[in-house]
Every structure is written in C-alpha cells, then in structure tokens.
Structure 1
Amino acid sequence: MLNARQVQILLLLWNQDHSGEYLSKEVNSSRRTIIRDISALNQELSIKNTAVINSEGKYSLEIHNYSQFQELITQFENQERNILYYLLINDFLSIDELMDKSFLSKTDITNSIDRINQRNKDILEIKSKVGLGYFVDLYFATKVDLLAYLISVIPKDTDSNTLKDTFPKDLREYLTDNQSTAQLQAISLISSANFDDFYNHKRDLLRNIKESTIENQIELVSKNFSIKLSKKRLAQNIATHLKRYNLFPTFISNLLLKQMSDLKQKEPFAFEMAQNLQAEIEKNDPSILINSDFLALYIINCMEIKTSIKPVKILMYTAQRSIAYINENLITDAVGNISMTSIFNIDEFNKQVTNESYDILVTNGFNDGLKHAPDVVINGLIDEATISRLKKLVSDNYFHNNLTQMLPKENYLFYENRSDNYFKVLKNVLKYFIDEGQLDQKMSVKLLNREEEGNQLMINHVALPHAVNETDFSRMFAVDLKTPLKLNKTDIYLILIVIVNDKNDDYKQLFNYLYKILNKKQVSQTDIEKNYTNILKYFRTE
C-alpha cells in the first residue's frame, strides 16, 4: 500500500515531469527517500501494467492504462472521503474508532490523514487532541457544506423523496435533486447544525451576489488583459455559478488536478484574470465563497472565437459542473469545428433536444431519465479512446454540414470532354474556373504542376488534384465527366480538386472523410443524372 508521500509524488508526476531535487523539496524528504519511493511506486504500478515512472533525466510518468490509473487515484480519494465523512459527523474520533467505522487499517488511516492535510492546506486540517482523538478544523465553508459534498459524490442510504420535500422552495432552482438531498442529510447528521440558521445564512449570501456588480468587476479587471470576452454572458454565468457554489460548495478532486494544471499552461491569462476577478469580488464582499479555478473555466468558455464555418453542434449532459467544464475544455482543445452546449439537468437536456437541432448528443454516464439515446457516453473524465470516437463523429458531421460551403454550386462543372487525356482536360477545367472567378491563376499553375510532377491521388476512379493555400476553410471543385479519362491506365469518372490550408487541422479530417466515402462506393457513369444535386447526395451519403 502506498503511503501519503508516495501518493503525493504520483500526483506531482501526473501533472508534469520533475527532477529528484524538486520532488524532495515538495515532499520534504531526502533524495535517497525519493529513489526508494519511485521504486515502490513502480512496483505498485506494474502489478496491472497501469503505468511506469521513467528516470532518464527528470522523472516522468507514462500511463499505459488510463482507466486503471483513474481507479487507483479514486481508491485513495474514496478512503480520504470516508475518513472525512466520519470525522465530520462526530466531534472527535480515536484511531480505533476510525478503524472500526471505515474498515481501514491504522496505516491506511494515518496515510490518508496525511494526504488530506497535504492536499487541502487552504481548506481544512485534521488535528488531534490528547484523550479525545481526531477532529476537523475547517478554514473554508462549513461542516455541512463539506459533508454535503462528500455525500453527493459517495451517496449514503437515505429516503431521498422524504428529504427532498423539506428543501426550501425558494432555493430549489440552484441545486440538483442529488445535491439538495445530500445537503439535507448533512444537516441531519451534524448535531450542531440548525436548519433555519443554515438556510438563512445561504439566503444572505445569495442576496449579495448581483449580476450588475459582477459585470462592473469584469469590466474593471478585463482592462488589464487582451482577452476578447462576451462580458454580459460571462457576468450572467459567473453570477449563476456563485449562487450555486455558495449554496453548495464543490471541491476539486484529484482526478481534475491534472486537467486543471494543463489548462493553466494553455490559458495562463484566463487563470490570471480569474485570480484578479476573485480578489475584486472578495474586496467588495469577503463573505462570498469563490474558487478562481472555477471562474477561469467560465472565462475560457466565454472567450469570443470567430469562425467562418458552420460548427458541429454538440449537446452534453453532466450532473457535476466542474467535470462538465473540464471535459468541455478537453474536447474543444482536441476536437476542432464544434459548438458545445453543457446541460446539468436531465429535464432541461430532454427539452433542448426536442426544441433544437443538435448533431451529437453526449452524456456523462447512463441515466434512466434520458428520452434520447446519446451518441457518446463519458464516464467521469473523458479518455483518449472516447475523444478519438468523438473526433470521427465530428469529422463526419462537420463535412456533411459544410459541404455546400466547401463545394458551392459555382464550383461544380459537368464537362463534355472530347478527349480522354487527363492533363489536357484538367488544364481546360482549371481555365474554366479561373474565367468564372472561382480560382486564381497562381493556384491553377500550382495544381497543374503538382499533377504533372507525379503527385496524383486516385481513389476508386476519382482523381483528386490537391494543393495547399492560405484559406479559411477547405475548398473543393467537382468536375463530372461525360466520358471517362485515362490516368495511369485507370478510368477516371470524376475530378475532385481539393485546396486546403495545412495549418488547419480540418485538412487531415477532410482527406479521411473523402477516403472513407470514395472507398465505400463508386461514382456512377450511367445510373444517375450528372448534376450538382446528385454530387452533394453522393458525398453526404455513407
């Protein structure tokens, strides 16, 4: 079993590579101890071939099985949560009482307490008193808040319907059923908690959170940053977030630390602005609970990104907002040409699907309340395999949706060729598109030169002359032929000219899409009438 120091080393290396000297300072141990800990970690990680820590130069963590690695981290986290749960519902507990309640060994408990204290220095500390035992000293939020969060992520047996009916009606819009039930259960478990006092305090906090004030604070803070934002939308989102967060504070789990760390490196100004915004809000009202990392997620979400193409619309349901925004950022970072909408309520998800048109539906886990089958199901944080599947779905939808922009009617030609010479016909059709103002002379020369130099691409009797140009999005020109051409002793029924910008990721997706379509079916010579409408049907049908 790993001790607290070894788990801390594992989490540090999950975030990024580190030297032995850095690790020894972070965990307050000698270099020799670090070497022993790395050896112990590799022994534990090798049992199921989960991962390995390489020691060439800096120490680096190489994960072989991400789901097993998640299970390992979750195992430690659940131990910590159980210990916190029992300490919160009791004023004091001895080590023997903790062992009896949690079914953990003395070593596991002391290691877990060390991990909790190391990772939550700004939130709490588990202390001990001689003759009494362990207790929790909280610096952030209240015992009810922390206990409610723990119950929401590790539910305990309770009559949820009975509890739900007692939740204050004026606060129901802010919480999910799971959260409100967890909060009521937490109040009932902590002897010192008072129902009326707790919710009156929450109402006072909510009254102090005003969208207009936050909008002014965003305006003030944003002057120091060159980030283009939809400030009105950001103020609305943050005001709603702060009301939910102050009514039900959530805490970032170990599984999100790596993603948060990566985001901070990719969007440093968003996180810096979030810290400044937190300071400004707290200056106005120190009683409001804020986590700047969550604010940064909203800032990133509201950044204005201009695009000339029609994005693939994705609707995603996730109950927990922090996980939703982490997944949203992981997806938008890995998958281009998308517009994502996150929903946190099943009924709202069903309503959105009914009222609006979405290309792809994503849910976090299965839920009995779903009226529409999801295209993609995520369990917790999205993994590489699911991202790859989502990329394929997005790629297909993207080109299906934007085909008329890439291949407008002006870029289609039915050519009554009298010659079967491929290069002669290509030269003539390029001249046609130049005369029509759809292509410039320079690009025509580039395309022709590439073909004559032997850079031909043929897929299933379709020739694809292709070249690179500075363009906002990929462009295609389709030439239907009256009679087949000959190219390298192969009959050519269609010429599809493709112009891409190799600095944009979509060019790879375009060729993958074309390859898939062209390999699945052959361009017909006689079965259908040759016109623009039928060419679109051909490229839109799998």
Structure 2
Amino acid sequence: MMTNRQVKILQLLMDNSYSGAELAHLLNASRRTIIRDIATIDYWLEKEKIGNIDTSQKYKLQVNNHYQLETFIQELQLKQYRVLYYLLVYPALSNDDIAAKTLLPKKNIDEIIYYLNQKYNYLFMIRKKVGKGVYLSLTTQDRIDLLASLLFSFTRLQKEIPRASYVSKKFRLKNAKLTQLLKRRSTLESQQQLELQLLSWQLCWTHDSIQYSLTEYFEEKNLRIQKAAQLNLVKILVRINQGYRVKIDEHACAQMLIQHLKRTISFPNYFDETVTEPLKALKASYPFSFELAEELAQGLQDYLKILYIDSQYIGLYIVNAQHLASQSVHAVMYEERHSISNINEMLLKEQVKNLILHVVHSVAELNNCVKKYPITLLLVDKMQLVKVADVNTTYIFNGILDHTDLVKIKNIVDTALIRAEIKNVFNEHDFFYLNNDVNFNFTLQNALKILSTQHLITAKQANAILKREAAGNQLIIGHLSVPHIKATIDEPFRLFYFRLDNAIILNKVKVYGILIVLVNSQASEYTQLFAYLYGQLKHAVPEVLATFRNLNRALLMAP
C-alpha cells in the first residue's frame, strides 16, 4: 500500500508536471524523500502495467490505463474514509474493532488516522485514550452533519449500509412536529441530502454515539438558520470591508451570502474537493476579496456556532458581487451540486459578457425560472440531464466548465446577441433594389449615395467604406459582397442590403447583392459578427438574396 504522501504525489502528477523541488515544497518534504517516493510510484505503475513516470525534465505521469489508475485512487480514498465512517457512527472503537470492520492492517489504520488528522484538523481530531479506544470528540449536530456529508461525497459507502438502517416513512409520520420540520427543508437541500441526514442520525442513534432526538436535531438547525436570516450582513460587510476597500455591491453580496449560510447550515458539504484547483487562479486575481472572505467567514462561524464555513465559497460570492454589470442574455444553469454551480457561475461571469445567469438546483426551480424570464440558453450538467429531458437543452457540460466549454458558451451568447440585434436594426426599410452598373465600384458608390441622401449614413462613413474597398479590404461571403467599417453609431451594428438586378463579377465570383455593415467601434462584444454572417450566408443561393423575407430568414435561422 502506498503512503498518503505518495498517493498525493500521484494525484498531483495526474493534473500537471512538477519538478522535485516543487513537489517537495507542496508536500513539505525533503527532495530526497520525493526522489524515493517517485521511484516507488514508478515501480508500482510499471508492475501494474498502468504507465510510468518520465523523469527526463520535470516529473511527468504517462498513463496507459486511465480507468485502472482512477479505480485505484478511488479505492484508496474509500479505505481512508471507511475508517472515518466507523469513527463517526460509533462513540469509540479499538484498533482491533476498526481492523475487523475495514479489513485493514493495524499499521495502515494508524497511518490513515494520522492522514485524516492532518487533512481535516479544522473539522475534527481523532484521539486515542487508554480504556476508551479511538474516538472523535464532536457535538451531536456536527457528528450527524459530518457523517451525512461524508456519505454524500462517497456514494459507494452508502451501498455498504443495510437498508434496515434507513429511517422509515412510518416513523416520520408518527411524529407530527418532525413532519412539519422536514417540510421546511425542501428549499435549502435536496431530497437526497435530507435522506442522508435522517440515515446519519439513525446510524449514530443506533450505536449510542448521540443522545439527541431527530426532532431536536432539526430544531437546532432551524434556530441557526433563523439566526443567519436575522443578520444585518450589509452592515457587517461595510465594516469589515473598510480595511480592504473591495468594490462590491454590499446589498447584492449580503443577499447571496445569507442564502449560502442557510444552505451551509442545512447541509454542510465538508468533503467536496473539486473547488481547490479552479480557485487558485481566482485567488491570484482577487487577493483582497479572498482575504476579506477569510475574516468574514471566521466571524460568521463564531457567531452562528457552525463547525466550519469555507471562506473560499464566501470569496466566490464576493468576487461575484464585483461583476454585477448590465447584461442582456438570460441563461439558466441546472446543477444540483452547489459547489460546482458556484465555480461555474464565477467562470461564466468572468469569461462571458452580457450574460444574466440564473442558477437552479431542482426541477421546480427550473420550471419557475423558465416561466419568469425570457430564457435564451439552458446549460445542464450531464449527470442531471435525464431529470430535464422535457426541456430543450442548449448546452450540456460535465462538472466544472473547462476552456472549451467557456469558448462554446461564449459563442452561443454572441450568436444570441447578434440575432437579437439583427431583429432590432434590419427591417424592410434597410432593403433596397438597385439597377446596377457592370462596374462594382460605381455600383457601390450609387448604393452609398442612396444611404447618405436618406441620412442613414454620413458622407464621412460613405468615404471610409469606399477607401477600404479601394485598398483591397473586400469581403465576399458566398454570392454577397460585404463592405464594412467601424463607425461611431448608437447601435452595436447597422445593416443595409442592396439587391442587384444583374450579377456582378467581383474577384471571379458572381455577386448578387451588397450587404453594407457598420460596426460600433466601442462594441467589442460584436467581434464575432462577420463569422456569424459567414456561417449564415456562405451557402445562400440567389433566390435567398432576392427578397427581404428570404434574406431576413437566412440571417436569423438556427444552423
């Protein structure tokens, strides 16, 4: 069995290449120790025919069998968290008891306990006492929450629990007060999370690690939630922010944070490690926001008596509050995991302009959102796609959005913006019929004269278009000439179309129409306009270019 440090090295190398010095710094170990660990890992990889470590420059992991490696890592994690599971369920256990339940050697158990204490020292400490054995010192509330969170993150552990351990519906219905308390949970947690809390209470109650009744457990939660709701968080934010001077919308930020606190109290997610890497870049970009978040999180934790509030999530909301600018495309993201949705929300607001994003975590929320807003995009996590099969999904993603996802979503948003603007600026008054000359330049001059005479463009703009064309900046899309300039206009762009009575040969291509385009020099978000026009019109036949109705349909139709 590998040591925890060796497993950590393996996990790091799965994501990136590192030098020995970098690994030594990250793992707080000597360079010599890292070299020995690399040799052990490399030997194991080759023995299992999974891959090897290239040591020619930095340490680089080369994998032949990704599935086998992922399975190995998951199984190691499960061994570690199985030990924690039993220590949460039972008030105390001897090393022999743990070995019998987990089928692990005692030496490995001691190593796992050391690892858990190092990694989660902010949540708990596993202690040993003569006559008592190995135990966790926790309050009832924290023990149940930790166990529920553990089962939520490691679903394979759930499969090992006998069905008899689950709290029956009959038991719940007998207690009217409990039934009423459970009804209040639906807005803050999923049904699965609720069931896991019921199961965790049942497991701890059965093995005498708690004396709290189920009703008392949920009553205590509700008291903390009420306390969070009554916080004057705007005042607290303003006071703490005096030392950091982060420009945020305090009211919007406070509203988001109150909801986050309620969800954290309702079902804390202590074992979700998916946020660590994506947040590194954000922390580097917004250091003061995350420093503010750390101070705020500690104060809230003390006031609300919560075991742990992750300041990283607080930092995400603070950064979100820095980006509440005017936006124009409504999108819904369906993601049941709050940790993933928080990161994706931040990534989208960072990378995609003009986007009003509504994040929903249940089908009911999605249905309400679709009724309430003019939704252009629906982004759905692949894992939850089956739950929204009846809704037209625009984009399917898998967990945390990567660079490719963000580029594709940005293109979808740009396309939606362009289509919306075409509807606004291009109408029948912008469609002209022109008895053209055989010479293209004379024909273009006549078209521009019509526009300037009707005060649709200025003489300066007309001259700028002619100069660009004369300089060889000619764009032809299919059978369409597209003269264009950047200009000072109120709209993001303007379109004027001239249907030619007779085709003109331009650069050896038959041209049946001229589409004159003026782009606002300040509207950087419309840089994809010409790519969009090319995609819509590259195969347009003369009949499409002959009438306003046909051309307009071609410009607006979905690909």
TM-score computed with the length of structure 1 as normaliser: 0.82
Please give the secondary structure, in 2, of the residue aligned with 1:456: coil
Query: Which residue of 1 is the match for residue 224 of structure 2?
Result: 205
Query: Which residue of 2 is the match for residue 414 of structure 1?
Result: 432
Residue 65 of structure 1 and its aligned partner are, at CA, apart by: 11
Residue 181 of structure 1 and its aligned partner are, at CA, apart by: 1.2
Give the 3 Å change call, closer, same or farther, for CA 420–293 of structure 1 in structure 2. same
Question: What is the CA–CA distance in structure 2 between the aligned matches of 1:501 and 1:66, rounded to whole Å?
Answer: 49
- Cα contact 2:149–2:269 (8 A) shared by 1: yes
The C-alpha deviation readout for 1:443-479, integer Å capped at 9, x for no partner, is: 5555444433333222211223345568898524232
Pairing 1:303–2:322 present: yes
- Cα contact 2:52–2:62 (8 A) shared by 1: yes
Q: Which amino acid aligns with 1:151?
A: L
- Cα contact 1:141–1:249 (8 A) shared by 2: no
Pairing 1:180–2:194 present: yes
Pairing 1:32–2:32 present: yes
Please give the secondary structure, in 2, of the residue aligned with 1:209: helix
Residue 182 of structure 1 and its aligned partner are, at CA, apart by: 0.9
Query: Which residue of 1 is the match for residue 474 of structure 2?
Result: 456
Instruction: Kindly report which structure 2 residues correspond to 1:100-499, keeping only aligned pairs within 5 A, or say none.
Output: 100-102=100-102, 112-129=112-129, 134-137=134-137, 142-155=142-155, 156=158, 158=163, 159=166, 162=169, 167=178, 169-170=180-181, 171-172=184-185, 173-190=187-204, 191-193=208-210, 194-195=212-213, 196-211=215-230, 213-224=232-243, 227-251=246-270, 253-281=272-300, 289-307=308-326, 310-311=328-329, 313-364=330-381, 365-366=383-384, 369-370=387-388, 371-383=390-402, 386-387=405-406, 389-405=408-424, 407-409=425-427, 412-430=430-448, 432-433=450-451, 439=457, 444-467=462-485, 474-483=492-501, 484-498=503-517
Give the 3 Å change call, closer, same or farther, for CA 182–482 of structure 1 in structure 2. same
Question: What is the CA–CA distance in structure 1 between the aligned matches of 2:144 and 2:93, rounded to whole Å?
Answer: 18
Q: Which amino acid aligns with 1:23?
A: L
- Cα contact 1:475–1:498 (8 A) shared by 2: yes
Give the 3 Å change call, closer, same or farther, for CA 140–262 of structure 1 in structure 2. farther
Residue 498 of structure 1 and its aligned partner are, at CA, apart by: 4.3
- Cα contact 2:141–2:217 (8 A) shared by 1: no
Please give the secondary structure, in 2, of the residue aligned with 1:254: coil
Query: Which residue of 2 is the match for residue 535 of structure 1?
Result: 551
- Cα contact 2:50–2:66 (8 A) shared by 1: no
Show structure 1 runs of 5+ residues with no match: none
Residue 320 of structure 1 and its aligned partner are, at CA, apart by: 2.1
Please give the secondary structure, in 2, of the residue aligned with 1:183: helix
Q: Which amino acid aligns with 1:539?
A: L
Q: Which amino acid aligns with 2:180?
A: K
Residue 356 of structure 1 and its aligned partner are, at CA, apart by: 3.7
- Cα contact 1:13–1:60 (8 A) shared by 2: yes
Question: What is the CA–CA distance in structure 1 between the aligned matches of 2:80 and 2:489, rounded to whole Å?
Answer: 53
Question: What is the CA–CA distance in structure 2 between the aligned matches of 1:6 and 1:468, rounded to whole Å?
Answer: 58
Aligned length: 535
Q: Which amino acid aligns with 1:347?
A: A
Give the 3 Å change call, closer, same or farther, for CA 103–327 of structure 1 in structure 2. farther
Give the 3 Å change call, closer, same or farther, for CA 186–511 of structure 1 in structure 2. same
Q: Which amino acid aligns with 2:556?
A: R
Q: Which amino acid aligns with 1:259?
A: P
Question: What is the CA–CA distance in structure 1 between the aligned matches of 2:68 and 2:513, rounded to whole Å?
Answer: 49
Question: What is the CA–CA distance in structure 2 between the aligned matches of 1:128 and 1:316, rounded to whole Å?
Answer: 46
Please give the secondary structure, in 1, of the residue aligned with 2:552: helix
Residue 325 of structure 1 and its aligned partner are, at CA, apart by: 0.9
Please give the secondary structure, in 1, of the residue aligned with 2:356: strand
Give the 3 Å change call, closer, same or farther, for CA 515–488 of structure 1 in structure 2. same
Give the 3 Å change call, closer, same or farther, for CA 320–457 of structure 1 in structure 2. same
Please give the secondary structure, in 1, of the residue aligned with 2:498: strand
Greater C-alpha Rg? 2
Taking only aligned residues, the RMSD between alpha carbons, in angstroms, comes to 4.2
Q: Which amino acid aligns with 1:535?
A: L
Residue 427 of structure 1 and its aligned partner are, at CA, apart by: 3.8
- Cα contact 2:439–2:504 (8 A) shared by 1: yes
Please give the secondary structure, in 2, of the residue aligned with 1:208: helix
Question: What is the CA–CA distance in structure 1 between the aligned matches of 2:411 and 2:529, rounded to whole Å?
Answer: 11
Q: Which amino acid aligns with 2:328?
A: K
Residue 146 of structure 1 and its aligned partner are, at CA, apart by: 0.4
Percent identical residues: 27
- Which region of structure 1 is more displaced relative to structure 2, 285-294 or 413-422? 285-294
TM-score computed with the length of structure 2 as normaliser: 0.79
Residue 271 of structure 1 and its aligned partner are, at CA, apart by: 1.9
- Cα contact 1:245–1:289 (8 A) shared by 2: no
Residue 369 of structure 1 and its aligned partner are, at CA, apart by: 4.8
Give the one of 534, 537, 556 matched to 1:515.
534
Query: Which residue of 1 is the match for residue 92 of structure 2?
Result: 92
- Cα contact 1:413–1:479 (8 A) shared by 2: yes
The C-alpha deviation readout for 1:327-354, integer Å capped at 9, x for no partner, is: 2223343444422111122222233334
Give the 3 Å change call, closer, same or farther, for CA 350–70 of structure 1 in structure 2. farther
The C-alpha deviation readout for 1:40-75, integer Å capped at 9, x for no partner, is: 55777898989977874x768899999998777655
Please give the secondary structure, in 1, of the residue aligned with 2:542: coil
Residue 6 of structure 1 and its aligned partner are, at CA, apart by: 2.8
- Which region of structure 1 is more displaced relative to structure 2, 410-419 or 239-248? 410-419
Give the 3 Å change call, closer, same or farther, for CA 206–493 of structure 1 in structure 2. same
Question: What is the CA–CA distance in structure 1 between the aligned matches of 2:302 and 2:92, rounded to whole Å?
Answer: 36
- Cα contact 1:459–1:518 (8 A) shared by 2: yes
